Amino acid sequence: MASHSDISGSAGSQRRGVKNPAAQATGTDKYSVLLPTYNERENLPLIVWLLVKSFEESGNNYEIIVIDDGSPDGTQEVAQQLEKIYGPDKILLRPRAKKLGLGTAYIHGMQHATGNFIIIMDADLSHHPKFIPEFIRKQKEGNFDIVSGTRYKGNGGVYGWDLKRKIIRAANFLTQILLRPGVSDLTGSFRLYRKEVLQKLMEKCVSKGYVFQMEMIVRARQLNFTIGEVPISFVDRVYGESKLGGNEIVSFLKGLLTLFATT
């Protein structure tokens, strides 16, 4: 099937997407990383440390927005310490009172973001910030609206799955057949968006949970936004517990079929 995603570097097709001419000039781009957290007391300092390291090494301008949903384990207290260590211009704490869901966390985070690009990722160390400079480079290379990390192409991959990987691989295969999304990793959540593109997509997306990560890409294709891909390695849960269960599979299938029937 024809692939619309760009993995080798050839330019994306012309599209009537949204442009941000001011940001094209080097040095004026700022990257806002949105980190929704829930009970990530141990992981948060580590992910922040890795982010700071990656951005300082690459020289890109950044900020990290921590959106904690009232974690009972003291995540916010740790976040406050990090704010003191790295400065409130780099670590922005924008917590919420209770667990309100990923989509609204992104909307909330974006309202406080001063960057012209938004990076979304998991805070549990499964996504490694070392890939962010590659996302940035890829974005500039093809002037993409979105750059998506893929675990299934190039030297992308996963560490730590056994039975799960078989299920996830089959699920990905199913999404490719049913939705023909033009990207190889539809359920991935390590992505770089132009801010205005993400805002537009958030308006249109209705799904909940991580099905909405799938919906974002599907809607993006509908709106003719260009999407580039970067292979990433995904290291499953170093600390903390995994969240894949029968419930997740059922809700994934429901979400997939809904997207199949409505987009």
Question: How far is it, in rounded angstroms, from Cα 186 to Cα 183?
Answer: 6
What character string, x for contact with other proteins (CB under 8 A) and - otherwise, covers 1-40?
Answer: ----------------------------------------
Specify the residue, 112 or 161, whose C-beta has the smaller distance to other proteins: 161
- Residue ranges of E strands in 40-156: 61-68, 91-93, 117-120, 146-150
240: contact with other proteins by CB under 8 A: no
According to DSSP, the residues that pair with 117 across neighbouring strands are: 31, 194
262: contact with other proteins by CB under 8 A: yes
221: contact with other proteins by CB under 8 A: no
Residue of 233, 240, 244, 251 interacting with other proteins (CB under 8 A): 233
Strands 117-120 and 157-159: unpaired
253: contact with other proteins by CB under 8 A: no
223: contact with other proteins by CB under 8 A: no
The two tokens of residue 149 are 């990390």
Residue of 21, 25, 84, 163 interacting with other proteins (CB under 8 A): 84
173: contact with other proteins by CB under 8 A: yes
Residue of 157, 202, 244, 248 interacting with other proteins (CB under 8 A): 157
51: contact with other proteins by CB under 8 A: no
CB of 5 to other proteins, least distance (A): 16
260: contact with other proteins by CB under 8 A: yes
40-73 burial: b if 16+ Cβ within 10 Å, else e: bbebbeebbebbbebbeebebebbbbbbbbebee
CB of 35 to other proteins, least distance (A): 15
Cα 33 vs. chain centroid, distance in angstroms?
A: 9
Long-range contacts of range 102-105, CB-CB < 8 Å, 24 or more positions apart? 102/36, 102/209, 102/210, 102/212, 103/202, 103/205, 103/207, 103/208, 103/212, 105/34, 105/36, 105/67, 105/69
- Residue ranges of E strands in the chain: 30-37, 61-68, 91-93, 117-120, 146-150, 157-159, 191-194, 227-231, 233-235
According to DSSP, residue 68 is labeled: E
Question: Among 7-15, 61-69, 172-180, 194-202, which window interacts with other proteins (CB under 8 A)?
Answer: 172-180
Interaction residues for other proteins, span 180-219 (CB under 8 A): 180
Specify the residue, 24 or 173, whose C-beta has the smaller distance to other proteins: 173
CB of 43 to other proteins, least distance (A): 9
Interaction site with other proteins (CB under 8 A): 41-42, 45-46, 49-50, 78, 81-82, 84-85, 125, 128, 151-152, 155-160, 165-166, 169-170, 173, 177-180, 233-235, 238, 259-263
